[in-house]
Structure 1
Amino acid sequence: MCLCAGVFGDEVKSVSVMEGDSLTLQTHITEIQRDDRILWKFGPQETRIAEINKEDNIISINGDVLDGRFRDRLQLNNQTGDLIITNITTQHTGVYQINIRGIKMTSHRFNVIVYAHLPAPVITSNSSKCSSSSSSNCSLLCSVLNVRDVSLSWYKGNSLLSIISVSDLNIRLSLSLEVEYQDTNTYRCVLNNTITNQTQHLNITHLCQTCSDTTGVIISVIYLLIFSYNNLFYYLL
């Protein structure tokens, strides 16, 4: 759960949270006073989503507004007026505003960014299945589908080789890399946002083989099949 306290005046506090988590937006109030009225709003239209009117003893949660995106997800702390959003989704990304009317008027705003869980990047080879020379280059591609507000990077050990970033929703995000066949270094492709990351390690021997390696594997398989056949023939006799 993320606990976030707002800021006064025209400032906006930025909050990042993962999809599926709970988020608590705090009011700075220790205890609501008898004449206080607390109003929570969301989005550019400042849609009312929750209210506490202490004088009239009213507690109201409007989860059905905005096509029901807040339905069964909002809670109010009766003592402090804190707003709790449970099982949050990317649809809840936006600006939340609280207006507090009492002895004095105050307001806080939160810019909430909800990140979806990241998929694991996929590494594929654009080269032929094998190369006759171990000194030639093997062309690789690391890619992910349907991501936004992320960076995709290639690392050699702990050294950053290349990086590409995207803010808008991208159908496919890709980053290429060339290595020598039978390279003994360790490579990894990393997809990350401001909260978390997903890493895919490169298996060079699997994606980048020399033809001699492939031939050796084939010969070994043939010998194994011959050996198995001879054993079977001997058993049948």
Structure 2
Amino acid sequence: MKMFDRFWFCLCLWHLVGVFGDEMKFVKLGDSVTLNSGLTELMDNDQIQWRFWIGNTSIAEINVTADSMTVYDDVLDGRFRDRLKLDKQTGSLTITNITTEHNGVYLGVVINRTSIPFFLAVYDEISVKKGDSVTINSGLTEIMDNEEIQWAYMKENALITVINKQADSMTVFDDVLDGRFRDRLKLNNQTGSLTITNITPEHTGRYVLLILGPKESLKAFSVSVYSEIICFILHIFLIYY
């Protein structure tokens, strides 16, 4: 179980991409997602546990030998209550009616056989016109002294900004991705919110905010950039139809 200890969420987000690979899942608010155990059938002596990154918390378990299947509804102030479903044949876990409280890292452990990590992010959708500016809000009113804020652009798996409050440092990585974000990124040093100025279609994609500190959390956003010609066509369509 040590592999899922604090190590997981103290890693920088852009390194997590290499760890999780295809097991990175981006989900819309209110949808359902299934975390596959990778098994077609549980054996008679199998036991599978599902854990959530905050506090390395057990959220569900199947013990084939004991013929038991348990969902821990009340952990973490009930954030998973009535949302977890276990497949008794494969041990896969489904999370229904998902919210941003379910963002994070999950681990499916088949005792004495295998462990599968998943990175799950529930994203908000943001649409902005080409050439405009957009601010992606962190949701914080103030960064605490022992917190670190990281923004990553997931389309290319690149870290783009970091605020380390304890070190009193704020870094913008202008040169990543051939300078795609050069002179376009602004950070609010109080809240950690990120503003992208003079935005282009090159900046379309998913952005993830990782907050490291006593209370780790993450947020995801899907940003789409549209051109003025699209607005014009839509305007004409609304007039005549």
TM-score by length of 2: 0.53
Q: Which residue of 2 is the match for residue 92 of structure 1? A: 102
Higher helix share: 2
Secondary structure of the equivalent of 2:38?
A: coil
Correspondent of 1:198 among 206, 211, 224: 224
Is residue 76 of structure 1 aligned with residue 86 of structure 2? yes
Is residue 175 of structure 1 aligned with residue 175 of structure 2? no
In structure 2, relative to structure 1, the CA distance for the partners of 1:161 and 1:150 (3 Å cut) is closer
Q: Is the 8 A contact 1:88 1:114 kept in 2?
A: no
Q: Give the number of equivalent residue pairs.
A: 160
Q: Which runs of 5+ in 1 are unaligned?
A: 1-9, 124-139, 152-159, 178-186, 207-237
Alpha-carbon separation, structure 1, partners of 2:72 and 2:127: 37
Q: Which residue of 2 is the match for residue 106 of structure 1? A: 113
Correspondent of 1:146 among 126, 137, 142: 137
RMSD of aligned alpha carbons: 3.8
Correspondent of 1:56 among 63, 66, 70: 66
Q: Is the 8 A contact 2:27 2:33 kept in 1?
A: no
Secondary structure of the equivalent of 2:76?
A: helix
Task: Trace 1:1-237 onto structure 2 (pairs within 5 A).
Answer: 12-13=19-20, 14-20=23-29, 21-101=31-111, 105-121=112-128, 141-146=132-137, 149-150=152-153, 163=181, 164=184, 170-171=192-193, 173-176=195-198, 191-193=204-206, 196-202=222-228
Q: Which residue of 2 is the match for residue 128 of structure 1? A: none
Which string of whole-angstrom CA distances, capped at 9 and with x for unpartnered residues, describes residues 82-113 of structure 1?
A: 01112222322222122223xxx123232413
In structure 2, relative to structure 1, the CA distance for the partners of 1:49 and 1:166 (3 Å cut) is farther
TM-score by length of 1: 0.54
Alpha-carbon separation, structure 1, partners of 2:73 and 2:88: 17
Alpha-carbon separation, structure 1, partners of 2:33 and 2:83: 10
> What's the offset of the Cα at 1:45?
2.6
Q: Which residue of 2 is the match for residue 232 of structure 1? A: none
Alpha-carbon separation, structure 1, partners of 2:186 and 2:66: 49
> What's the offset of the Cα at 1:43?
0.9
Structure number with bigger Rg:
1
Q: Percent identity of the aligned residues? A: 28
> What's the offset of the Cα at 1:28?
2.2
Q: Which runs of 5+ in 2 are unaligned?
A: 1-7, 9-17, 139-150, 155-177, 208-220, 233-241
Letter paired with 2:227: H
Q: Name which structure has the greater RCO, CA cutoff 8 Å, separation 6+.
A: 2
Which string of whole-angstrom CA distances, capped at 9 and with x for unpartnered residues, describes residues 153-203 of structure 1?
A: xxxxxxx995346899753514148xxxxxxxxx86954217954223247
Higher strand share: 1
> What's the offset of the Cα at 1:117?
2.0
